[in-house]
Amino acid sequence: MTATAAYPRPVKARTFLFAVEELRRRYGHLVPAGADPRSDTSPFRAFRERLLEEAALAAAGPARVSMWWEGTYNGYCLAVAFAPAGAVTRLDAGTVCPVELERVAPPRPDGYPLATVAPGRAEVARDDGGSAFEAPFGAAAGHFGAPGMRRIP
């Protein structure tokens, strides 16, 4: 067995980091009246819809999309990774929300599934029970933790 076959290169992803404060500024007003903005995912759904629309328009090939929170008590970013990186080279994620940082590297193996995209289409990732993962970010949670992820049927 060759070294390449024994240790295949990890797929690299194009990853965008969106500061939670920017996400709140751009989409936080979408929390319905009376809903708890710390758990309501309406802002996330609007962000996801807009991001996937742009990704489908920019996609040159199929990509798996995952997400996770990065940061510390000083601030958090929602990381969104498109793998492989070459599938979305034309994507300008800054049109959806200002991008804090962009990098090309292997995605986190423990990221939450977000979607699949291909030229002209995008589909939200769902588990066998039909649930998707969503990230509430409508308002500060009042603690030093990341906003978290929720499984939504």
Q: Which helix (H) or strand (E) holds 77?
A: strand 75-83
The reported pLDDT for the residue numbered 9 is: 66
Single out the residue of 7, 11, 3 nearest to residue 86, CA to CA: 11
Q: Where are the domains of the chain?
A: 10-129
In whole angstroms, give the CA distance from residue 9 to residue 51.
28
Side chain identity at residue 114, one-letter code: L
**First CA to last CA distance, the chain:** 44
Confidence band for 39, pLDDT divided at 50, 70 and 90 = confident
Distance CA 96, CA 108 (A): 22
pLDDT of 147 strictly over 90: no
d(CA 97, CA 3): 41
Query: What one-letter code names the amino acid at 7?
Result: Y
Write the pLDDT tens digit of every residue in 63-80. 999 999 998 777 899 999
Averaged over 134-141, what is the pLDDT?
Answer: 78
pLDDT in tens, 74-101: 789 999 999 999 999 999 999 999 999 9
Return the structure tokens found at 23: 């996400």
